[in-house]
Chain A
Amino acid sequence: MDLDSILKKHKILPGETKLIDIGCVQLSATRKNEGWHLITTDNCPHDDIDLSTDSTLADYFQTGNSNTLIIAPALPVEPLVFKGTGLNVLPNQQLTFFLKIPLAFQIYFSKILPENLLKEITYKRLSDTWFGEPDSGEPAFSLGSEYFLDINEIKITDLEAICPVLVQNTSSEILNVQRLIIRDENVTLYKNGDKIVTSLVHVEFKGNEVAGEVGYHYSKEYNGEKQEIIAKPRNTSGKNLLKLNFHFIKNIYRSE
Chain B
Amino acid sequence: MNFDWSKYFNVETIDKVLRIGIILVVGLLILGIITAVVKKLLPARFSMQRKMLINRFVRYTGVVILFLIIISEMNIDLTAIFGAAGVIGIVIGVASQTSIGNIVSGFFLVSEKPFELGDLIRIGDKSGTVYSIDLLSIKIKTLDNLLLRIPNQTVISTEVINVTKFPIRRLDIDLSVAYKEDLEKVIEVIKRVVKRNPFCLDEPEPLVVFKDFGDSGINILLGVWFEKANFLKVKNSLFIEIKSTFDAEGIEIPFPHVSIYTGEATKPFPFVAKASE
- Name A residues whose Cβ lies closer than 8 Å to a Cβ of B: 46, 48-51, 53-54, 81, 125, 127-131, 134-135, 137-139, 142, 179, 252-253, 256
Give 7 pairs: A residue, B residue, CB < 8 Å, sorted on A.
A50-B198, A50-B241, A81-B203, A127-B195, A128-B199, A129-B202, A137-B168
| Contact indicator per residue, chain B 141-164, by CB within 8 Å of chain A (1) or not (0) | 000000000000000000000000
A4 to B166, CA, bound (A): 44
Bin the interface of chain B by size: 20 to 34
Contact in complex: A252, B198 (CB < 8 Å):
no
A179 to B202, CA, bound (A): 13
Are A139 and B227 within 8 A (Cβ)? yes
Those of B78-93 within 8 Å (CB) of chain A: none
- Considering only CB atoms, which chain A residue lies closest to B196 in the complex? A50
Most chain A beta-carbon contacts within 10 A, residue among B195, B198, B227, B241: B198
Tell me the bound Cα distance from A46 to B241 in angstroms.
Answer: 14
A131 to B198, CA, bound (A): 17
Report yes or no: B237 in contact with A134, Cβ–Cβ below 8 A. Answer: no
B210 to chain A, nearest CB (A): 13
| B173: interface (CB < 8 Å) | no
Judged by DSSP, the binding face of B is loop
Q: Contact: A129 with B201, CB < 8 Å?
A: yes
Q: What is the minimal beta-carbon distance from B141 to any residue of chain A, in angstroms?
A: 25
Please tell me if B61 contacts chain A, counting CB pairs below 8 Å: no
Residues of A within 8 A of B200 (CB): 128
- In addition to A46-B196, A137-B167, A142-B202, 9 A-B residue pairs with Cβ atoms within 8 Å of each other are A49-B197, A125-B198, A130-B201, A134-B166, A135-B166, A135-B167, A138-B167, A139-B167, A253-B207
What is the chain A residue whose CB lies nearest that of B170? A134
Contact partners of B167 in chain A: CB under 8 A: 134-135, 137-139
CB distance from B259 to the nearest CB of A (A): 33
Indicate whether B225 reaches chain A with its CB closer than 8 angstroms: yes
CB < 8 Å: which of A49, A53, A130, A256 contacts B203?
Answer: A130
Q: How far is the CA of A108 from the CA of B33 in the complex (A)?
A: 43
A134 touches B202 (CB 8 A): no
Q: Are A128 and B196 in contact (CB under 8 A)?
A: no
Within the complex, the shortest CB–CB distance from B246 to chain A, in Å, comes to 16
- Docked pose: A81 CA to B201 CA in angstroms: 12
Q: Which residue of B lies closest to A140 (CB)?
A: B203
CB contacts (< 8 Å) of B268 on chain A: these are none
